[in-house]
Amino acid sequence: MGKITFYEEKNFQGRSYECMSDCADMSSYLSRCHSCRVESGCFMVYDRNNYMGNQYFMRRGEYSDYTSMGMSSGIKSCRMIPMHRGQFRMRIYERENFGGQMHEMMDDCDNIMDRYRMNDCQSCNVMDGHWLMYEQAQYRGRMMYMRPGEYRSFRDMGMSGMKFMSMRRITDMC
């Protein structure tokens, strides 16, 4: 079970809201959110409501200022990442709707171009585990959280123009 506390101001000041599950709209609880403390578990936080916009992976620790996390505006929604035990499996596809080259992954990939000779990944099917997909090789740039399910078009998910070049399993003790 995870627990995260959000604060209206930087440095854990102002009103706070304790959360132990998904929250699609923080404005119901706080007028804004500029810092947080993850007491247990792992979470994805988003700079827009309804789990949209830029995403940031948060593990146990203190985050005193949203700008130090690379966010341009405060936290607007969050999703708890459940603990996964067992194998990890995901199929990545070069094009939308599971088209083009396909490769099945069971471990991290720091560069799909080097490993698979793929210069783009536009859809995927996550069969097992929880994954982070990164815009650049070596797990850099913007990221997207992928839980089990079919993702036919990243563009339809609000990730228009974004390419994913590396993928990592979430193996933290969330």
| pTM listed for this prediction | 0.88
Question: Which pLDDT value is given to residue 114?
Answer: 96
Task: Tell whether 111 and 63 lie within a shared domain.
Answer: no
Separation of alpha carbons 150 and 12, rounded Å: 37
Pair (93, 59) in one structural domain: no
Neighbours of 174 (CB within 10 A): 19
Query: Alpha-carbon distance 43 to 58, whole Å?
Result: 5
Q: Are residues 24 and 73 in the same domain?
A: yes
Higher pLDDT, 129 or 72: 129
Whether 156 has a pLDDT exceeding 80, the answer reads: no
Of 25, 49, 81, the last residue of a domain is: 81
Residue 102 lies in a domain: yes
User: Residue 174 domain-assigned?
Assistant: no
Pair 137, 75 in one domain:
no
What is the CATH classification number for the domain harbouring 118?
A: 2.60.20.10
Domain that holds residue 115: 89-169
First to last CA, the chain: 8
Q: Summarize pLDDT for 74-128 with one digit per residue, the tens.
A: 899 999 999 898 999 999 999 999 999 999 999 999 999 999 999 889 999 999 9
For residue 39, report the phi and psi dihedrals to the nearest 5 degrees. Answer: -85, -30
Which are the contacts of 74, defined by CB distance < 8 A and separation ≥ 6? Answer: 32, 33, 34, 47, 66
- The answer on 30 and 48 residing in a single domain is yes
Are both 77 and 147 inside the same structural domain? no
User: Residue 9: helix, strand or coil by DSSP?
Assistant: coil
Q: Could you tell me if 75 and 8 lie in one domain?
A: yes
Q: pLDDT grade, residue 67 (50/70/90)?
A: confident
d(CA 32, CA 76): 8
Average pLDDT, the chain: 92
Is residue 72 located within the same domain as residue 98?
Answer: no
